[in-house]
Amino acid sequence: MPVVSEIEFQDPEARVAQALSGAEHAAAPSPAPAEGDGDKMVLNMGPSHPATHGVLRIILELDGEMITKAAPDVGYLHRGDEKIAENMTFTQFIPYTDRLDYLAPLANNVAYALAVEKLLGIDKDLPPRCQYIRVICCELARISAHLLGLGAFAMDVGALTVFLHTFTEREKIYNLIEALTGARFTTTYTRIGGLSRDLPPGWVEQCRKFLAEVVVNFDESEKLLTRNRIFVDRTRDLGVISKEDAIDYGLTGPNLRGSGVDYDLRKAHPYLVYSQLKFDIPTGSVGDCYDRYLVRMEEMRQSVRILHQCLDQLPGGPVSISNGKTVLPPKEKVLTKMEELIHQFILVTQGENAPPGEIYFGAENPKGELGFYINSRGGGVPHRMKIRSPSFVNLSILSHLLPGHMMSDVVAVLGSLDFVMGAVNGL
């Protein structure tokens, strides 16, 4: 009978010391090649490559199989969203937020709406039911995005089965989103000052059923990966990002917390009703690809915990602020009452009357901090808008992180960073 040996895991302290010593050795400058050793080779990885998760091009300088220099080139999907926003009313720009991180459109909708509401000074007036439903949207989006990130990451390093498992659960989330918003992908669910519609009948029970099923999928995925010798060898002590580097490069989200930095905007700067909910913030100890995987797995479990609390505590009442000069009135009233028709006409043609000033609001999205800076000169159209894309910022560390790794390690490092190019190039 063959003997199956268990994988021996080191203590976190020993892993930290070993990984950091390896990183220091990898970061040391390579000696100049002696005459006759041959020149280094420049290799283009992407922009059309399955492991780059979109149109990312990385210019790799190789000494044999070892990377000596890496230059990411992200300019292949430029859409000019920030300039588009300056020629639209605040409400008209909501559909464009769907297409930023298109794996979490509901979370994008909520973050943008909260930024505009902060500018208008109505962020504290949101009805409780609206706030709870927005949190539900954000956490469903977090699970959906992490499931795809996990499945793609596993497939990148050779585990196709996990991808099929995670996509099965994402399809269930899309069914819930379709019932809630009328669309599966580009949701445009929020409105400035509220939501486009309330929860449909029976939706809460459907969501509870999904939550009971998805935790089983988490267990199955972990059994396939967490102690899988191939997966562990491809991810452990690889792509180590120290706490200092994570902070210096402005990383946020799971990539920051995987390096042991306990920072989450839902705790550090609570918004909506997050301050009333109980959940933990998982962090890593080494900052390698394996830690980033573990952090995302636990974040999904914490999102399930948050969703159960929201469904249990969901209050009744309206889902939008009752202010016709700021919030689009219900369609049935627009068709039957003159005052609501006038408000609808003004809001659609001129936009919300924002005061002069500038604000910034950041939300904890699945990929990290999604922030909106709005500069207003008054009126219904922003004078300037700047979008802080977490994927764009997280990718900035590649030129520092990849040198010293093997060329085959690039795939695992990119998968562990879990970025989406729609939020990198689309600004």
pLDDT, tens digit, for every residue of 212-238?
999 999 999 999 999 999 999 999 999
Whether 37 has a pLDDT exceeding 70, the answer reads: no
| CA–CA dist 98, 76 (Å, integer) | 19
Range in 103-117, 199-213, 325-339 with the lowest mean pLDDT: 325-339
Half-sphere exposure of 108 (CA within 13 A, CB side): 25
Nearest to 231 by CA among 148, 292, 284: 292
Whether 334 has a pLDDT exceeding 80, the answer reads: yes
When pLDDT is averaged across residues 372-401 and rounded to a whole number, the result is 95
Q: What percent of the chain has pLDDT over 90?
A: 78
Q: What is the pLDDT of residue 426?
A: 64
Q: What is the pLDDT of residue 38?
A: 58
Q: What percent of the chain has pLDDT over 70?
A: 90
When pLDDT is averaged across residues 129-142 and rounded to a whole number, the result is 98
Nearest to 298 by CA among 248, 249, 264: 264
Q: What is the pLDDT of residue 24?
A: 55
| CA–CA dist 140, 181 (Å, integer) | 13
Find residue 62's DSSP bridge partners.
41, 67
Q: What is the pLDDT of residue 329?
A: 85
Handedness of CA 137, 138, 143, 144 (dihedral sign): positive
Q: Answer whether 97's CB lies under 8 Å from 168's CB.
A: no
The residue that leads in pLDDT, 31 or 83, is 83
- From residue 292, give the alpha-carbon distance in Å to each of 164, 259, 316: 21, 8, 38
Q: At what angle do helices 203-225 and 128-156 cross, to 10 degrees?
A: 30
Secondary structure of 178-196 in the HEC alphabet? Answer: HHHHCCCCCCCCEECCEEC
* Residue 48 buriedness (CB in 10 A; 0-12 / 13-18 / 19+): exposed
Q: What is the pLDDT of residues 347-386, one digit of tens each?
A: 888 988 999 999 999 999 999 999 999 999 999 999 999 9
pTM, two decimal places:
0.90
Whether 73 has a pLDDT exceeding 60, the answer reads: yes
Whether 34 has a pLDDT exceeding 50, the answer reads: no
- From residue 162, give the alpha-carbon distance in Å to each of 211, 290, 320: 19, 16, 40
Region for residue 34 given its phi and psi (left: phi exceeds 0; alpha: psi -120 to 50; beta: otherwise): beta
Whether 183 has a pLDDT exceeding 70, the answer reads: yes
User: What's the pLDDT band for 9 if we cut at 50, 70, 90?
Assistant: low
Whether 40 has a pLDDT exceeding 50, the answer reads: yes
Token digits of residue 420: 């989406």
User: What's the pLDDT band for 39 if we cut at 50, 70, 90?
Assistant: confident
3 state DSSP class of 44: strand
Q: What is the pLDDT of residue 31?
A: 47
Q: What is the pLDDT of residue 12?
A: 63
Output the average pLDDT for the chain: 90
Q: What is the pLDDT of residue 50?
A: 82
Q: What is the pLDDT of residue 274?
A: 97
- From residue 53, give the alpha-carbon distance in Å to each of 79, 288, 298: 18, 19, 23
Q: Please name the helix (run of DSSP H) or strand (run of DSSP E) that holds residue 73, with its range, or none.
A: strand 66-73
DSSP 351: -
Helices (H), 314-417: 331-334, 338-349, 390-395, 398-401, 409-417
Q: Give the contacts of 198 (CB within 8 A, at least 6 positions apart).
A: 129, 133, 319
Find which of 50-59, 194-203, 347-356 is predicted with most confidence, using mean pLDDT: 194-203
Q: What is the pLDDT of residue 202?
A: 96
Task: Give the number of other CB atoms < 10 A from CB of residue 180.
Answer: 24
